[in-house]
Chains A and B, each alone.
Chain A
């Protein structure tokens, strides 16, 4: 039995970091109503700074993109080779720092990050709908994570242990002492926070502001300053937890960033309100994971399926299902609105032009452009799945790429193992993905906004660890062959022969096949937007209560959105599998899901045409390739820039590039063409329909006859009850 106790105690190590992060999540939520997905990334960032200072005496500067690199590249077009200065990367101060100094600087940085998050991002977003806040915090998470990868690469890093960790005996088993010191630190922090919130004026003001921001403001409390202070505290706390726990959990740019998921689970059980509940649940998840691990190894009746990794998801789902809409709302007004779902019209001439253009690229362009075009087309299919579920129905799903992965895996099983013929195998695979998508959609019947984002993120991770990881259910199957699709004896895989072009990979036949699939789906989703089903989705997005009162079967509509979106994601997944010729789990990771969401949002998540922009932006897509050809290789900056632009989009242009383009095309971009059109345009030409939607006609005056009516009916309102 000792071994189980030992593992429970060992698990406290990761439990402490979950608990510590959960504590910070509760703090920021109570202070500003934001669920900060980037909280784990702050801890990770601070820990890297600490370890870098301690070991090398180097302080990593934030990885800002260097505008001079653009200048260098543009001069290069004219054959001028210049070497403009690069931005500094590290500030070197001595060889290695004493730990207290390194700790102070690391924590100060973490506090500063917390403050900047609040001041630059979440304060401006405070009246925006949850979608914008989730998007921004996911963007910040990508940014911090990719920023560290730029400076330190993906490799794991050693962190010196500040706590004594000689073994101590507990109930007959030996456990390193650092767990207990950590536990003491976190319990002390919780006690302090608890007392501050219960006893001090500051704490009471924070609670007041959380209860009703408007009233608190009327009482002269600056909800803003209170939020700022709490954000700084949360940042420092995250840094401290990261630095102290890293020797136990290990440190790389991803693992600590994703510790946010169990922490979110703990915070969710605490309804983002109770510090103590969050901490105990966080510790429980850590201990439970460790216990499950040893049980899987030791006991025969416990299936060896990575249960321990699924525990956080389980906790989250149970908390959600038990509690329904768990996040208490603040008395704040939402003034912002969701991205407008402008309809996209099918304009045959424009469509034929783009189809021809794309076909030409797919057939005659060089290898890399063909490949990039295919990536873009597949990216657009995947983005369309988010357009349906997030754009039309308002649900944030961070698991779409994981669903695509399931379809890709199923394709390998159905087509290769079971020998299903072409259209059946990918369709069947997509149907399986739909089933999983519906499963993820079930919690959406009761929760939305940030809570749903948490659930889908956890589901994505669970799919990854259960199915795709080396020790998951599909162990050993992580790469499987997928045969090229063929119909009526004509093969159109990436290596299939084609009568035009250079006869090399990727085959134009495959490219045209993908183009045909995208075109079909594109038109289908345009039609969906115009159909009753699409309108009902938008009605549910706008107002669930009112939709129900208007006779809309809200749960059915939500499930329909999840189902359709998962099916599209599944199709995207099968296309990816065909492209590689194998099922490759690496293409369907959770970071990929987050990036996909980022690109879809950037492109324009609520409009069908936005998916095309999203597709161009994806990694190795056509837009990315064009940028790299024109300027410089993006490399590690790609994810980083995606994060930055995601945050900026949420802040300035929540509708994404597509609507921005539709709105601003007259002012920028097309310059001369537009000027020419303006000069030659028929003045009587009516505005296109979307234009009247974006620039609404002046508000109609009250009907003329209203005044007469009032006179005629004897001004009903004027009579007194007597």
Chain B
């Protein structure tokens, strides 16, 4: 199986601090990979690097192409999209418009053609996403007026709508209660069923361990374990990182 996303020695340094220190990671096609680690492990920095928001060194290959030097919007056009821990929705335009903005790679010609009439294809794609994620009832509202759960969902929808091959989800369950988390987990399963790969970053161990196919654990910018959820559950290094060096059963 070829890896959809492949990073090799990905390093991000802020001054003297290395937030990511040589992370090598593969996300295979159709896979849900969990990326976990304690606070400050470098999870979000990893996502920021891959999506072109912080300068990095090393190598990132996505879908057979090198991502070196590409600006964020180009990376999104390749089919690699993300959500944000702090949501970062377009709060004052409708949910539908939020999706429409993300649904297309706009060229000048397309902008002009769209000016004289919205493309059917675009509308269909947005409608399909709205239907799959069952968010029809909030379509015309503004994200600012929605509950936290729905906002997270809009964030996920916005990352999916562009025909993504891989979605990086940054703490989608943060700020959600258990019921909402369960609801979100269900939606995520649906997403994978559509053949989209997911890299899931979250604090909620329960969520990650339950939905991931494989898990990648990092701490202080370095990989400390890779394996299936069961392996990770029993990994000494992981338990040490999360619960202190003494290890033992959690």
Question: Which A residues have a C-beta under 8 Å from some C-beta of B?
Answer: 337-338, 340-341, 527-528, 531-533, 535-536, 538-539, 542-543, 545-554, 560, 689, 692-693, 696-697, 699-700, 702-703, 706-707, 709-710, 713, 715-722
**Complex contact A700–B137 (CB within 8 A):** yes
Q: Does residue B8 face the partner (Cβ distance < 8 Å to A)?
A: no
Q: Which of B92, B140, B182, B186 contacts A338 (CB 8 A)?
A: B92
Contact status B102-A550, CB under 8 Å: yes
CB distance from A437 to the nearest CB of B (A): 17
> Is B132 positioned at the interface, with any CB of A under 8 Å from its CB?
no
Q: List 28 A-B contacts (CB under 8 A).
A: A337-B91, A533-B111, A533-B114, A535-B97, A535-B100, A539-B97, A539-B101, A543-B91, A545-B72, A546-B88, A547-B101, A551-B73, A560-B111, A689-B140, A693-B142, A696-B145, A699-B146, A699-B147, A700-B146, A700-B147, A709-B183, A716-B210, A718-B178, A718-B206, A719-B209, A720-B206, A721-B206, A721-B233
The stretch from B23-31, B56-64, B74-82, B191-199 touching chain A is: B74-82
- Whether A713 touches B140, Cβ cut-off 8 Å, given contacts A538-B90, A721-B209, is no
Q: Knowing A542-B90, A547-B90, A719-B210 touch, does A710 contact B178 (C-beta < 8 A)?
A: yes
Give the distance in Å from the alpha carbon of A700 to the alpha carbon of B146 in the complex.
8
| A702 to B101 Cα, complex, angstroms | 26
Alpha-carbon separation in the docked complex, A337 to B147 (Å): 18
A552 touching B206 by the CB < 8 A rule?
Answer: no
Query: Is A553 touching B250 in the complex (CB atoms < 8 A)?
Result: no
Known: A693-B94, A717-B173, A721-B209. 4 other contacts (CB 8 A): A548-B76, A551-B162, A689-B140, A699-B145
Tell me which residues from 105 to 140 in chain B have a Cβ below 8 Å from any Cβ of chain A: 105-106, 110-111, 114-115, 118, 122, 134, 137-138, 140
Distance between Cα atoms of A532 and B173 in the complex (Å)? 31
Quote the shortest CB–CB distance from A718 to chain B (angstroms).
6
> Is B147 in contact with A702, judged by CB distance below 8 angstroms?
yes
**Given B77, B110, B250, which contacts A721 in the complex, CB threshold below 8 Å?**
B250
CB-CB under 8 A for A710 and B206, given A693-B142, A700-B138, A722-B233:
no
> Are A710 and B92 within 8 A (Cβ)?
no
> Is B249 within 8 A of A722, CB to CB?
yes
With contact pairs A543-B90, A550-B101 given, residues A532 and B114 touching in the complex (Cβ less than 8 Å): yes
* Closest chain B CB from A196 CB (angstroms): 30
Indicate if B49 sits at the interface (CB-CB under 8 A).
Answer: no
Rounded to whole Å, the gap between the CB of B94 and the closest CB of chain A is 8
Chain B residue numbers with a CB within 8 Å of A721 are: 205-206, 209, 233, 239, 242, 250
Question: What residues on A are CB-neighbors of B53 within 8 Å?
Answer: 545, 548-549
Say how far B37's CB is from chain A's closest CB, in angstroms: 14
- CB closest chain-B residue, reference A555: B71
The interface residues of chain A lying within 8 Å CB-to-CB of B250 are 720-722
A532 partner residues in chain B, CB cutoff 8 A: 100-101, 104, 106, 110-111, 114-115, 118, 122
Question: How far in angstroms is the closest Cβ of chain B from A715?
Answer: 6
Known: A549-B82, A550-B101. A709 touches B111 (CB 8 A): no
What is the CB-to-nearest-CB distance from A21 to chain B, in angstroms, rounded to a whole number?
35
With a cutoff of 8 Å between Cβ atoms, the chain A residues found around residue B211 in the complex are 716
A contact patch SS: helix
Whether B181 pairs with A717 at a CB distance below 8 angstroms is yes
B228 smallest CB distance to A (angstroms): 13
Shortest 9 CB-CB contacts between residues of A and residues of B = A551-B76, A550-B102, A546-B88, A548-B72, A710-B182, A542-B90, A717-B178, A696-B145, A539-B101
- CA A693 to CA B94, docked complex, whole Å: 9
B180 contact set on A, CB distance < 8 A: 702, 706
Q: Mark B229-244, 1 if CB is under 8 A from A, else 0.
A: 0000100000100100
Known: A721-B250, A722-B249. A715 touches B88 (CB 8 A): no
Say whether B93 contacts A538, CB under 8 Å.
Answer: yes
B51 and A549 contacting across the interface, CB-CB below 8 Å? yes
> Which residues on A sit within 8 Å (CB–CB) of B73?
548-554
Tell me the minimal C-beta distance from B187 to chain A in angstroms. 10
Distance, CA A407 to CA B185, complexed state (A): 58
Across the interface, which residues of A come within 8 angstroms of B141, CB to CB?
696-697
Does B144 have its Cβ within 8 Å of any Cβ on chain A?
Answer: yes
Asked if A538 meets B92 with Cβ closer than 8 Å, knowing A531-B111, A552-B73, the reply is yes
Point out the residue from B71, B72, B182 that lies within 8 Å of A713, measured CB to CB: B182
Q: Are A717 and B101 in contact (CB under 8 A)?
A: no
With contact pairs A545-B88, A717-B206 given, residues A550 and B140 touching in the complex (Cβ less than 8 Å): no
> Residue-by-residue, is B169-183 near A (CB-CB < 8 Å gives 1, otherwise 0)?
000010000111111
In the bound complex, what is the Cα–Cα distance between A719 and B94 (angstroms)?
A: 36
CB neighbours (8 Å) of B181 from chain A are: 716-717
CB pair A536 B233 closer than 8 Å = no
* Residues of chain A with a CB closer than 8 A to B186's CB: 709, 713
Known: A545-B88, A551-B81, A721-B250. A341 touches B206 (CB 8 A): no
Q: Is the CB of A700 within 8 A of B89?
A: no
